[in-house]
């Protein structure tokens, strides 16, 4: 009985996102952004991983040229600097990324104003950014929308990168794989391809 209820709930959530997703405004990406800010809830798992993996991938793609992009991350609900959970640190190492020195920082008006591109992990975060920073609508993006694969993804998964906080190593690994694929797609849209 619980399994049926869970499937119904999942189906309703997916249906909501199939409808809601079509109303998400996707602005044109700047051709040569100078700065990208990744945003999630607490800035301890997803957005710092996105920041560091973007920096790593960018360096691998362009090497030591004069071309540069500043990558940063922040959280919508950060009250004090906090380190990533140990599981996030361990799994990030598997992707060649170090999160040991990272400490969360709150999203601020200054960070938003200074960023050319602001990327949220989930639909509710995108909505909160649109509400809190009304003058910056054309800078706001939803990370899962950069990956335009012909896959059977639909509903919730197509518009959200779920928070792995409190999950197992395999939950973090799946999350970080999805972030890495989407960051590669973001960089490709900025003209940086392998």
Which residues are part of the catalytic machinery?
40, 46, 163
User: What are the CA-CA distances from residue 25 to residues 4, 101, 111, 126, 127 (Å)?
Assistant: 34, 35, 22, 10, 11
Say if residues 171 and 85 touch (Cβ distance below 8 Å). no
| Closest residue by Cα to residue 176 from 51, 60, 29 | 51
Distance (Å, rounded) from C-alpha 175 to C-alpha 172? Answer: 5
């Amino acid at each position: 009985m619980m399994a049926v209820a869970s499937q119904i709930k999942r189906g309703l959530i997916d249906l909501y996102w199939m409808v809601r997703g079509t109303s998400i405004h996707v602005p044109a990406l700047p051709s040569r952004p100078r700065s990208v800010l990744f945003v999630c809830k607490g800035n301890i798992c997803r957005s710092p991983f996105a920041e560091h993996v973007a920096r790593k991938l960018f360096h691998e793609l362009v090497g030591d040229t004069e071309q540069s992009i500043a990558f940063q991350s922040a959280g919508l609900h950060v009250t004090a600097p906090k380190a990533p959970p140990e599981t996030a640190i361990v799994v990030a190492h598997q992707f060649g990324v170090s999160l040991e020195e990272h400490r969360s920082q709150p999203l601020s008006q200054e960070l938003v104003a200074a960023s050319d591109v602001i990327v949220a992990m989930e639909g509710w975060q995108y909505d909160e950014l649109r509400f809190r920073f009304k003058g910056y609508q054309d800078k706001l993006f939803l990370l899962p929308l950069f990956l335009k694969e012909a896959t059977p993804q639909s509903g919730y998964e197509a518009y959200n990168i779920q928070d792995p906080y409190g999950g197992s190593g395999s939950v973090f690994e799946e999350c970080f794989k999805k972030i890495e694929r989407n960051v590669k797609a973001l960089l490709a849209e900025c003209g940086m391809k392998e």
